Amino acid sequence: MAASLAENFDEFFEIKLADTQDLKNESYKIRHTVYAQELGWEPISPNGMEIDECDPYAFSILLVHKRTGKFAGTARLVIPPSSKPDSKLPFELHCAESLNRDIVDPDTIKRGSFSEISRLSVPNQFRRRVSENNQPFVLNESLGGDIFSEQERRNFPNIAIGLYLGVIAMVNMCNHSHMFVVVEPRLNKRLRRLGLHFQQCGEDMDYHGVRALFFLERKDFTGNLNPEVLELYQLLEKQLAQQLVLYPY
């Protein structure tokens, strides 16, 4: 019998909370490598780390490739603290004008009870395919049991899935009502196939390609995941629960 998505994932990867400065720096280095050096979307930093104004109130996760010990990807969850109402999510800083407030209005949601996933990035050696040169990560549509049958260095297709699900596990543990993300509309279609029913709440905008603001409501965090993806989510949630101490909102 073929191994499940979660079993395959667990064989190759484990998720780690960046709960020390050294691990946070590893996340910042991956972001710099991908967004600054490879894609040229951010300026080159002398210290080799990509850090912005949201990082003081962000929680980062890393995906570790078990066989080599290399970090295969990172993402962060930005949670503006309720004690600092002037703190903003990345979309509030950079694309608030695109938001359709008739669909969702963050000003009507209590600060500290919603968050944004951003800076999801995967190093080149874990996404190296001809069509992936201009993408910070790749989300594979295949969910078959043989997804890791290709050579490891060439194809790790579910790293992005694991990072998305890991962050959603954090959001769920925080008891947040909404999670926001800025992605390509075509990527959102792939997320929906996994059971992540993000709703578009911002106009399409041109930022390194067409992107838009989407949000996910609490009822949709896990309620629509197909069984194979839900099993992977539960694996990642269990791993993070052993590392993460958060007070639910």
* pTM of the predicted model as reported, rounded to 2 decimal places: 0.87
| Residue 162 lies inside a defined structural domain of this protein | yes
Secondary element (H or E) of residue 228: helix 227-241
Question: CA separation (Å) from 172 to 74, 119, 176, 220, 232?
Answer: 19, 19, 6, 10, 15
- Strand bridging mode 199-200 / 114-121: unpaired
Instruction: Identify whether 104 is part of a domain.
Output: yes
Residue 210 placed within a domain: yes
Q: Is residue 199 part of a domain?
A: yes
In a domain, 247, yes or no: no
pLDDT tens digits along 19-36: 999 999 999 999 999 999
Residue 40's CATH number: 3.40.630.30
- Strand residue runs (E) in 177-246: 178-183, 199-200, 205-206, 210-217
Task: Specify if 246 maps to a domain.
Answer: no
* Owning domain of residue 113: 5-241
In angstroms, the Cα distances linking 17 to 12, 112, 139, 241, 247 are 17, 20, 21, 10, 16
Number of domains in the chain: 1
**Sites in the chain below the pLDDT cut of 70:** 1, 128-156, 246-249
Radius of gyration of the chain (CA): 17
- Residue 248 domain-assigned (yes or no): no
Separation between Cα atoms, residue 28 and residue 49, nearest integer Å: 5
pLDDT for the residue numbered 134: 56
Residue 100: other Cβ atoms inside 10 A? 12
Show the 3-state SS of 142-192.
CCCCCCCCCCCCCCCCCHHHHHHHHHHHHHHHHCCCEEEEEECHHHHHHHH
- In a domain, residue 76? The reply is yes
